[in-house]
Amino acid sequence: MSFGLNKFIKNILPKQLFYRGLLIVALPIIILQFTISIVFFDSLWIKTNKGMTRALVAEIKTFIQAYDNEESNKKFIIKLYEKNLNFKINLQKNSVLPEKLKERWFSPVDRSLRRELKSENLNYWFNTTNYKKNIHLKVAYKNGYLEFYIPRERLTSSSVRLFGLWITIPAFLIISIAIIFLKNQTRPIIKLAEASEKFGKGEDVGQFRPSGALEIRKAGYEFDRMRKRIIRHLNQRSEMLSGISHDLRTPLTRMKLQLELISDKKVSEKLGENVNEMEKMLNDYLQFASSGATEKTRDFDLTKLIKEIIKKNDTNNIRFNENNTITFSGRKNLIQRCINNFVDNSLKYAKNIVLNVGKLKNNVWITIEDDGPGIPKSEYENIFKPFYKINKGRADSKSSVGLGLSISSDIIKSHGGKIELTKSSLGGLKVMISLPS
């Protein structure tokens, strides 16, 4: 029960820090204002309104009794009420009271007036909305009715408006100040999150300057130190790989030249195959190690990119279900390399390949299906591991070192996306790539 309640509260609470902070500040103010308003209306305004209404009805009852006295001067009484109480009174003879209006239950003035008139057993009709400054009241009298125009201030107090104004303005002022301060406090956190996201995707963050409260600045400084250590490590790895590449390519080139001098062509061809395999393996290693990219993020047409990949393969085995133009922000060359790896892999083992691309909400998706032998479900996670090969179901070429899919997985993850593998409708493998747009 308590777990369900906690989950419900978590679902309705705002997710962003700014709105949570604003709720912490604003909610107590709103509760306080609401409580004060209830106390004010109950103890002061409603009770005062009730007393004023009771006094007014008593004056009307006194007027009717005095007017009903045959010895009294009726015109004098009307003038006396007009002069001292600002009442305007008319006698409508041989008239019937109109039908009562629909009760305005939400109006304290209407409720109080209706209650007091009923308590005096008066047959009445009134309207509190027709006139801005007066209340229109009709009370049955003999074969007609007495018509009263009563100043509104006799029933309501203007202090309620002043009270509402003075209680609302400070609340809005405090909440506005809180919004400004919270914006200033959350802005450094947002900048730190954006810088972390960019760096996680391999983009250049530039010079990051921590700001904000002491704790936030400390987190920013630690992030910047970590970023610099990682960049230094990547630079060292790139330099080391450049050195390895240079050192290994030189003897491979010499070996190729020496193979040309061997008179036995069979031996030369076998050794040449080994040298070519070593060269390809070296290229794959370097490609895998350099897949964390120096390329900058930019907008490009994903649909056009897939068309270019298909055109370069120059085969009729690939079918592309073309969609509308889809613009994606990322590193174009890396995305191209990723899709190329999957397409090349499918071309090795399948005769028919189908590509789809689309956009759903905030995600761009790409699917690649083939009619090849497929991959066992138990191997779905393993094939993205570096240097992993599947000997069953697919005959790996001797020159393959098992890095193509690892590179593709790293590229998609560096863009904040994910790859899923399922059974294809064509009978082979279906690759589903999802990227945040």
Q: Is residue 152 part of a domain?
A: yes
**How many C-beta atoms surround the C-beta of residue 151 within 10 A?**
14
Handedness of CA 204, 206, 210, 212 (dihedral sign): negative
pLDDT of 26 > 90? The answer is no
User: pLDDT tens, 266-295?
Assistant: 777 777 777 777 777 777 666 655 555 456
Q: Is residue 100 part of a domain?
A: yes
Q: Which residues span the domain enclosing 302?
A: 298-436
Q: Is residue 276 part of a domain?
A: no
Give the residue from 111, 135, 157 where a domain finishes. Answer: 157
Least confident window among 25-29, 197-201, 218-222, 417-421: 197-201
Residue 400 is predicted with a pLDDT of 57
pLDDT of 398 > 60? The answer is no
| Residue 429: CATH number of its domain | 3.30.565.10
Residues contacting 366, CB < 8 A, separation 6+: 302, 306, 339, 355, 356, 357, 432, 433, 435
pLDDT of 60 > 50? The answer is yes
Least confident window among 71-85, 113-127, 183-197, 235-249: 235-249
The predicted model gives 210-218 an average pLDDT of 84
Q: Is residue 32 part of a domain?
A: yes
Residue 27 is predicted with a pLDDT of 84
The predicted model gives 402-414 an average pLDDT of 80
Share of the chain above pLDDT 70, in %: 87
Query: pTM of the predicted model, to two decimals?
Result: 0.52
Torsion of CA 281, 283, 285, 290, to 10 degrees: -170
Give the residue from 103, 138, 157 where a domain finishes. Answer: 157
Handedness of CA 20, 22, 25, 29 (dihedral sign): negative
Question: How many domains does the chain divide into?
Answer: 2
| Residue 113: CATH number of its domain | 3.30.450
Q: Is residue 419 part of a domain?
A: yes
Give the residue from 132, 157, 182 where a domain finishes. Answer: 157
Place of tokens 């993020």: 297
Q: Is residue 140 part of a domain?
A: yes
User: pLDDT tens, 110-140?
Assistant: 888 899 999 988 999 999 888 888 999 999 9
Spatial distance between the Cα atoms of 340 and 431, rounded to a whole number of angstroms: 13
The predicted model gives 163-175 an average pLDDT of 80
Q: Is residue 321 part of a domain?
A: yes
Spatial contact of 405 and 339, defined as CB atoms under 8 Å apart: no
